[in-house]
Amino acid sequence: MTLKEFISQGDKFAAHAGARLVTVKDGYAKSQLTVAEKHLNAGGVCQGGAIFTLADVALAAVSNAGLQLTFAINSSIFYHRSAMPGDTLTAEAVAVSKHPKVPYCEVSVRNQDGTLIASFQATCYSKRVTLENVDSLE
């Protein structure tokens, strides 16, 4: 099984929300979500939790690329602009520091026009537990 399959099949909340993992490479991952009516808040724009979930899926892929079970222990997001119904959002995650126990990653979320929607940062913790049955990234 690939890491992409492991996360895509295992993260049931993200899948239910419509966030899909597109690319997983060493030090880089990309996820996408198309903003639908179910993602809207009372103000008629994409709910922040949907954007956070999209960024978190990309984070999960990039932080687990070493095939060691790794979780976020601290994360923050800054919303630069609203995402609108019909927007296709792309989250691109990069491993800024590949520390063996406490990696640090950054994720940018942009719409289909390349407009920056959100910036997400996370510090993770690697449990040094090998991901069972995962043997490659994609």
Query: Mind listing the pLDDT tens digit for each residue in 2-35?
Result: 999 999 999 999 999 999 999 999 999 999 999 9
Amino acid at 137: L
Say what the alpha-carbon torsion angle 68, 76, 112, 59 is, to the nearest 10 degrees. 0
What CATH topology corresponds to 3-130? Thiol Ester Dehydrase; Chain A (3.10.129)
Low-confidence ranges of the chain (pLDDT < 50): none
Domain boundaries, the chain: 3-130
The predicted model scores a pTM of: 0.96
